[in-house]
Copies of this chain bind each other. A is one copy, B any other.
Amino acid sequence: MATIKDVAERVGVSVTTVSRVLNNRGYLSEDLKRRVYQAMEELNYQPNELARSLFRKKSNIIGLIIPDISHPFFSEIAIHIETFAYKSGYKILLCNSQLDKKKEKDYLNMLKASQVDGIIMGSHTLDTEEYKSINMPLVTLDRQLSESIPYVSSDHYKGGQLATKLLIRKGCKKIAHISGNLKLHLLAKARYDGFIDTVKKHSINHVVVQTDLNGFKYDEYKKIVTELFLKHPDLDGVFASSDLIAAQVLKECKRLGKRVPEDVKVVGFDGIRVGEFMMPGLSTIQQPIKDIAKTAVKLLIDWINGTEVPRENILPVKLIEKETT
């Protein structure tokens, strides 16, 4: 591969001069520029970003750590993150932690070693200390790691409220909430709070079961949903904490011969695009995925550029009312 030296020799100037036209520094005659650009063209020259980054101490790479890119919520987040990053001249290094402590730690080290300019973190299995010690711009999705780390999230509390109110308004008398893991300190936990506060306020019979949200746990979801209806055959409303889980609920209702929405009403969470395609009738709480991504990228880049950024960034959700309620 051609280097700046090759270009310089071909044009008959020093590498400094070539570097100057490359970076457009100082005065350069039009003729010179033309000759340099032409030589670059002829040699199919590409400046070596490794060398540039090494010198500048800036790689223009953002590390993205998420549990699993094949999960539709994260793949939708990812496309938008990539889009905004691209527009701002940043590249994305994709890391799936698969909720594996070792892999996440590995990736964190790798990202530091690779001199990424910042990290967007949508996964966390390690202790808070480990993230604080990262010592580089870091923005989380849905995670409150420490006082100093900004996060962006939906208004989960409002989402929980909206979903629950909808079920109540539609006449549900006994409602189940299938929540994410409440022990993890995810902001998504507020969906649960919104649910609980609402059912209590209206004195509605309710039941809560937990599961993991960020994976494709088909068997686990199936088991939980089956048991739920076994224990509570009189359920007439379900607020599932993801559209994927709502899918499982719908399936189980069908198996049990319960009609939706007549016998059981179901509302999901996320509002993922693939859900709209495959389950066009599902009522759900839509997260502003594009805005979340845009905000995360903006915060991170601002921070990289030395601007102060707000710590708390909560974006509004939207109730999408369709046929399952």
- Number of copies of this chain that the complex holds: 2
Q: How far is it, in angstroms, between the C-alpha of A244 and the C-alpha of B92 when the chains are bound? A: 27
Stretch at the interface among A5-13, A109-117, A162-170: A109-117
A-B contact pairs, 14 of them (CB 8 A): A46-B113, A47-B113, A48-B115, A49-B114, A49-B115, A69-B69, A69-B78, A69-B79, A70-B76, A75-B78, A91-B93, A91-B110, A216-B277, A278-B279
Q: How far is it, in angstroms, between the C-alpha of A95 and the C-alpha of B44 when the chains are bound? A: 22
Say whether B114 contacts A50, CB under 8 Å: yes
Contact with B along A214-244 (1 / 0, CB 8 A): 0010100000000000000000000000011
Tally of contact residues, A, Cβ under 8 A: 55
Cβ–Cβ < 8 Å partners of A276 in chain B: 218
Say whether A79 contacts B70, CB under 8 Å: yes
* A96, CB-defined interface residue at 8 Å: yes
Q: How far is it, in angstroms, between the C-alpha of A247 and the C-alpha of B218 when the chains are bound? A: 20
Say whether A275 contacts B273, CB under 8 Å: no
Contact with B along A31-54 (1 / 0, CB 8 A): 000000000000010111111011
Identify the closest chain B residue to A115 (Cβ): B50
Say whether A274 contacts B76, CB under 8 Å: no
Q: How far is it, in angstroms, between the C-alpha of A275 and the C-alpha of B72 when the chains are bound? A: 11
Known: A69-B79, A75-B72, A78-B69. A49 touches B113 (CB 8 A): yes
Q: How far is it, in angstroms, between the C-alpha of A172 and the C-alpha of B199 when the chains are bound? A: 51
Instruction: Give the Cβ gap from A77 to chain B, nearest Cβ, in Å.
Output: 9
Say whether A277 contacts B115, CB under 8 Å: no
* A82, CB-defined interface residue at 8 Å: yes
Cβ–Cβ < 8 Å partners of A71 in chain B: 75
* A59, CB-defined interface residue at 8 Å: yes
Cβ–Cβ < 8 Å partners of A277 in chain B: 216, 218, 244, 247-248
Q: How far is it, in angstroms, between the C-alpha of A92 and the C-alpha of B72 when the chains are bound? A: 19
